[in-house]
Structure 1
Amino acid sequence: MTIAVSILPDQQLAALNEVYRKAVARKRLRVALGAAAFLAALAIASIGAEVNLRTLFTYFGHFVSYFDRLLTLDNGSRVWTNIPEWLWGWKKWSLLLGETILISYVGTLFGAVLGFAFNFLAAENTSPGPWVRFIVKRLMEFCRTVPDIVFALIFVIAFGLGPMAGVLAITIHSIGALGKQYAEMVENIDMKPVEGLRSTGAGWIACMRFAVLPQVVAGFASYTLLRFEINVRSASVMGFVGAGGIGVELITAIRKFYYSDVSAILLLIILTVFVIDIGTGWVRGRLFGKERRT
C-alpha cells in the first residue's frame, strides 16, 4: 500500500516558512520581554528589601559557625559522640512535644468544624445570598491574614500563659485557611445533583447534605489532615510568646545559648513532624486509596 505525500510549490513553502519564522520570533520576543520584566521586578524588589549580597557573603561564616556550635557539647565534643548527654532532657521535651501536638489537634479540629460551617455560606454556588457570602469571605480573610503567632500573643495577653492561647490562635487561623479551601472545592462541584434535589422541593440544608457533601467529603478530610501537619509546625513556635508547647523550652535554650539543647529540641521536632507526615499519609491512603498516599 502506497502513501501519497503532497508537495507544495516552492512559493507556498516559502510563504509558510516565513509565517512560521515570524511566529517563532514573536514567541521568543514575548519570552525575552517576560524574562526581562521578571528580572527587573526582582532587582527592584531586592533593592526595596535591602538585599545585599556582599553582606550575605561577608557574614555567611557566622551562619555556618552557629550550626557548628549547635552540634557541639559543652565539653567541646560533637553531640553524636555522647548521645545521652545530648538528649539529657528527652523526657521533659517529649511531654512538651505531646502538648504541642494536642494544641495542634484541638485547634485543627475546632477550626475544621467552623470552617466546614462557613464554607457553604462563602461558596458562590451554595451561598444563600451575596451579602452573606461577602461577610463570611471577609471574616475568613481576616482569620487567615493575621499570622497565628500574632493571635497567640494577643490571647496570651488576654488569657495568660499556657496552651489555651495556642489552641485559640490555631483555631482562628484554621477557620480562615480551611474555610477557603473547602469553599473552593464546593465551587467546583457538579451542580446537577443540587438542581435535581431543588426540583423536588428540598431545602438548602438537604441540598448541602445529600448533593454537595458527598462530592467533597474526601477532599475535606485530605485538606484537614494537611492543615494538621502545618499546625504542628506552627504550634512549635507559639511557645516563643508563651502559648505553651515545646516552643517555650526552645526559646529558653536559644536565649541562654544552650546550643546543644537547641539542636536536640530541633531534632525531636523534626522527627515528630516526620512521623506525623508519614502517619497522615497512611491515613489518607487508607481513606482514599493508594493513589493519594504520596
Structure 2
Amino acid sequence: MAPSIHRQGDARLALMMGGYDAAVAAKRRQTTLGATVLIVAVVVAALVGEVDVGKFVVNLHRFGDYIVRLAHLEGGAGVLSDVGEWFWGWRRWLVMLGETLLIAYMGTLMGALGGFALCFFAARNLTGRAWVRFATKRFFEVCRTVPEMVFALIFVIAFGLGPLAGVLALAVHSTGALGKLFCEVVENIDLKPVDGVKANGGSWVEAVRFAVVPQVLSNFASYALLRFEVNVRSAAVMGFVGAGGIGQDLIEAIRKFYYSDVSALLVLIVGTVMVIDLCTERLRHALLGLRRA
C-alpha cells in the first residue's frame, strides 16, 4: 500500500507543478503582450506627435539655460543678491494673487453647490428614473470633460476680460468633477436610514435631508477642499486668456522675457499653493477622522 500512496503523491505533485508552470507561462505571456502593446503605443504616439529625438537632445540645453536665466536679475547678478529688486512689484503681485485665490474660492464654492444639488439625482440608489440619472451624469461629463481654459475663453468672449470669466469657468468644471465624486459617495451609503425615513411617511427630499446628507457631508467637504487645491493651481494660469488673477502678469513677463519677474511670480505661486495644500490636507484628514470616530 505504501508504494501506491507514494505513486499517488508523486502524481498529485506532478499535477500541481504542471498547473503552476502553466500559470507562470500564462503570466509571462500576458506581461510580454502588455509590454508589446505599450511599446507599440509609444512608437505610434511618437510618430503622430512628430517627436524628433535628435532635435530634443540638441536643444535640451536651452531648457537649462532658461532656468539659469530665471535665477538672475536683469543686470546679471543673482536674484538673492538684491531681493528688493527681485520682488519689486510685490504689492501689485500680492493683490493679483489674492484675486487668484478668490477666483478659486468662488469657483469651488459654486461648483460644490452645483454638484451637491445634482448628485442625488444621478445616484442609482436614490433615483429610480433611468432618464434622470442618464441626463444628470451626461451633464456632469460635459462639464468636466471640457478644459477650464476652454470655458474661460468662452466666458471671456461672453462677459469680457476679468475675474468673472475665471470664476464661471472653474465653477462649471468643478460642478462636473465634484458631481461625479459626490454621486459615488451617495451610491455607497447605508440605505437603512433612508428606508426608515420613508417608512415613517417621509418624502424623497426629507429622506435625502435627514438620512443621506448626515452620512456624506464629511466626504463632500473633503472632496470640496481637494478640489479647491486643484482650482488654485488652475486659477493661477487663468490670466493667460484674460480671465483675471496673477496669471496675467505671469504671461506678460514670459512674453516680454522679464526673467527675474517670471521667477518671482513662480515663487509666489508655488509658495501659496504649497501652503494651501498643507492646510487643506490637515482639514481633510480632520474631517475624515471625525467621520471614522
TM-score by length of 2: 0.92
Name the SS of the counterpart of 1:9 in structure 2.
Answer: helix
Name the SS of the counterpart of 1:126 in structure 2.
Answer: coil
> Which residue pairs with 1:93 in the alignment?
93
Q: How is 1:22-41 mapped onto 2 (pairs within 5 angstroms)?
A: 22-41=22-41
> Which residue pairs with 1:3 in the alignment?
none
Contact 2:218-2:291 within 8 A present in 1 as well? no
- Measured against aligned partners, the alpha-carbon deviations of 1:15-46 in whole angstroms (never above 9, x if no partner) come to 32222222222222222222222222222222
Gap runs ≥5 in structure 1: 1-5
Pairwise CA distance, 1:66: 1.1
Pairwise CA distance, 1:290: 8.7
Instruction: Give the letter aligned to residue 254 of structure 1.
Output: I
Q: How is 1:1-294 mapped onto 2 (pairs within 5 angstroms)?
A: 9-289=9-289
Instruction: Return the alpha-carbon distance in structure 2 between the equivalents of residues 233 and 106 of structure 1.
Output: 14
Pairs aligned (count): 287
Instruction: Give the letter aligned to residue 209 of structure 1.
Output: R
- Measured against aligned partners, the alpha-carbon deviations of 1:56-78 in whole angstroms (never above 9, x if no partner) come to 21211111111111111111111
Instruction: Return the alpha-carbon distance in structure 1 between the equivalents of residues 19 and 237 of structure 2.
Output: 59
Deviates more, 1:238-247 or 1:129-138: 129-138
Instruction: Return the alpha-carbon distance in structure 1 between the equivalents of residues 114 and 9 of structure 2.
Output: 70
TM-score by length of 1: 0.92
Instruction: Return the alpha-carbon distance in structure 1 between the equivalents of residues 248 and 262 of structure 2.
Output: 12
Deviates more, 1:141-150 or 1:188-197: 188-197
Pairwise CA distance, 1:291: 11
Pairwise CA distance, 1:154: 1.4
Instruction: Return the alpha-carbon distance in structure 2 between the equivalents of residues 47 and 184 of structure 1.
Output: 38
Instruction: Return the alpha-carbon distance in structure 1 between the equivalents of residues 176 and 15 of structure 2.
Output: 57
What is the Cα-based RMSD across aligned positions, in Å?
A: 1.9
Instruction: Return the alpha-carbon distance in structure 2 between the equivalents of residues 139 and 291 of structure 1.
Output: 30
Instruction: Return the alpha-carbon distance in structure 1 between the equivalents of residues 62 and 93 of structure 2.
Output: 28
Instruction: Return the alpha-carbon distance in structure 1 between the equivalents of residues 180 and 23 of structure 2.
Output: 41
Instruction: Return the alpha-carbon distance in structure 2 between the equivalents of residues 225 and 110 of structure 1.
Output: 13
Instruction: Return the alpha-carbon distance in structure 2 between the equivalents of residues 192 and 55 of structure 1.
Output: 63
Deviates more, 1:22-31 or 1:257-266: 22-31
Instruction: Return the alpha-carbon distance in structure 2 between the equivalents of residues 291 and 217 of structure 1.
Output: 9
Contact 2:156-2:165 within 8 A present in 1 as well? yes
Contact 1:121-1:136 within 8 A present in 2 as well? yes
